[in-house]
Chain A
Amino acid sequence: MRISLIALALLLGCGYYEQTYMPASHNWAFRHKYPSADRLFNAFDYGHAIVYQELIAHPDGPVSRIEDDRFTFITTHLLVHPPAVPLDEEAIGPRYAQLLPEAHEMFEWAHILHRQIYDIWADDRIPPPAKDSAVATVIRYYRSRGDLAFSTTPKSMSLMDGQFYSMAFRKKYPKFTGLLWSYHWLQIVLYDALMRGATPAERQANVDTVVRRFRAMLEDPPAHMPSVMPMTAAIAPEFAERYPDAAIIFDNLHAFHDVVADILASPDVPPSRKRAEVLAAAARYRDGTSSITSVADWRQMSTMMGAAHMGGVPW
């Protein structure tokens, strides 16, 4: 079946294809149990897509287009009234989806993994010991797409911060960077919120705490937002300890989000080279050999940077 789909995709002229959730009884459990948090994920989709769209469609636009106009819309409207369903990023960022379909699909695929792990931990029908096996299954499903899956090998920070284009977005758009990092903070900390709750009531209380803390980050921006990229081992230590493969995948995902923004924002990368640089970086974040570090060093690096700078740990 998969071979047929790949062949069809190649015949149609594209080297990738979309794939839906792994079939499972736990699918959508998080959406049903924690709708306020789930809706935020839908709003998060907009933030990344619109910033890539802006950087591609208006490369010489004023900083205020992203840092003020888009930021204000997101924080005062979109996050206040988040959409009920996941958004179509191709409609939000058509130029982004046209220029970087492979990167777009890598993000989508990782977001499905995110959501399926939330679902497993939100589904009270799955006893805690069985959750590990369910998580292993969805990770296996995720990794079955080698053309999209982020590596389960930790990458050194040089891949994100040591390139000629590094920091371009972060320096120019510090407030929006803080917003994107606050998204990543919530996405990661929610895992510990679910894992630390022994009862449904405790899990609900933990999720509510995380959502409240996230909303507090948006007040007086960027004062309360993360000032460095949140890393899983620092802000969700239980999750990182229990599921290191997933934690590493998500750190690589979040780092790659920043790398794409840096490449698109960097004046040192001419427009004709943007796609090539993104694809080269994407390959490095997927493979198990480029700029790798050990799991022990990854944990140490994460904690050394300080959880407080990453948004903190709410418990």
Chain B
Amino acid sequence: MLLLGAAVDRSFPLMSLLIVGDLVVEQYSNGVPRPADWTSDIGFRKQISPRFVLDAGVGRVFHGLRPAWLVTFGTTYTFSISALVPEARPGAH
């Protein structure tokens, strides 16, 4: 399979926001006669609190065997675990 992709991003640091767009082409080479899939996506990553990040995106397979819409949504939550931090244990010196 041949997979080619390109992406661009633009950050807006003062808004803690990143916008990303990409274009991906997938060409299968296993002898199956089918057109290449062309997919384009756009999405963002937004920090909404010191520990919480949201990301979401939408994409479209606009050329290929089965044109389709894609939607993605995710979150990242940063935390630490006391048991893994020796200095945070009670009585640590």
Q: Which residues of A contact B (CB under 8 A)?
A: 1, 20-24, 28, 31, 46, 78, 83, 85-88, 91-92, 137, 140-141, 144
B16 at interface, CB cutoff 8 A: yes
A78 touches B14 (CB 8 A): yes
A23 touches B85 (CB 8 A): yes
Known: A21-B80, A22-B87, A144-B87. 12 other contacts (CB 8 A): A22-B88, A23-B79, A23-B80, A28-B50, A46-B13, A78-B14, A83-B14, A83-B15, A85-B16, A87-B16, A88-B47, A137-B92
The 11 sampled A-B contact pairs (Cβ below 8 Å) are A22-B88, A23-B88, A78-B14, A86-B50, A88-B13, A91-B11, A92-B13, A140-B92, A141-B85, A144-B86, A144-B87
Question: Which chain A residue has the least Cβ–Cβ distance from B48?
Answer: A85
Chain A residues, CB < 8 A from B80:
20-23
Chain A residues, CB < 8 A from B72:
none
User: In terms of DSSP, what is the predominant structure of the interface of chain A?
Assistant: loop
B84 at interface, CB cutoff 8 A: yes
* Residue in B11, B14, B49, B78 whose beta carbon sits within 8 Å of that of A20 in the complex: B78
B14 touches A140 (CB 8 A): no
Contact with A along B69-89 (1 / 0, CB 8 A): 000000000111110111110
* Residue in B18, B49, B81, B86 whose beta carbon sits within 8 Å of that of A85 in the complex: B49
Chain B residues, CB < 8 A from A20:
78-80
Bound state CA distance, A87 and B15, in angstroms?
8
B88 touches A46 (CB 8 A): no
Bound state CA distance, A137 and B86, in angstroms?
10
A190 to chain B, nearest CB (A): 18
A85 touches B50 (CB 8 A): yes
B69 to chain A, nearest CB (A): 30
Contact with A along B33-52 (1 / 0, CB 8 A): 00000000000000111100
B88 touches A141 (CB 8 A): yes
B13 touches A137 (CB 8 A): no
B85 touches A87 (CB 8 A): no
B13 touches A1 (CB 8 A): no
Chain A residues, CB < 8 A from B11:
88, 91
Q: Taking each of A23, A87, A144, which has the highest tally of chain B beta carbons within 10 Å of its own beta carbon?
A: A23
Bound state CA distance, A85 and B53, in angstroms?
11
A68 to chain B, nearest CB (A): 19
Bound state CA distance, A137 and B82, in angstroms?
12
* Residue in A24, A85, A92 whose beta carbon sits within 8 Å of that of B88 in the complex: A24
Question: Which chain A residue has the least Cβ–Cβ distance from B52?
Answer: A85
Chain A residues, CB < 8 A from B82:
23
A8 to chain B, nearest CB (A): 15
Question: Which chain A residue has the least Cβ–Cβ distance from B15?
Answer: A83
Question: Which chain A residue has the least Cβ–Cβ distance from B18?
Answer: A91
Bound state CA distance, A78 and B48, in angstroms?
18
Bound state CA distance, A22 and B80, in angstroms?
7
Bound state CA distance, A163 and B29, in angstroms?
64
Of residues 1 through 32 on chain B, the ones whose CB sits less than 8 Å from some CB of chain A are: 11, 13-16, 18
Chain A residues, CB < 8 A from B88:
22-24, 137, 141
Chain B residues, CB < 8 A from A144:
86-87
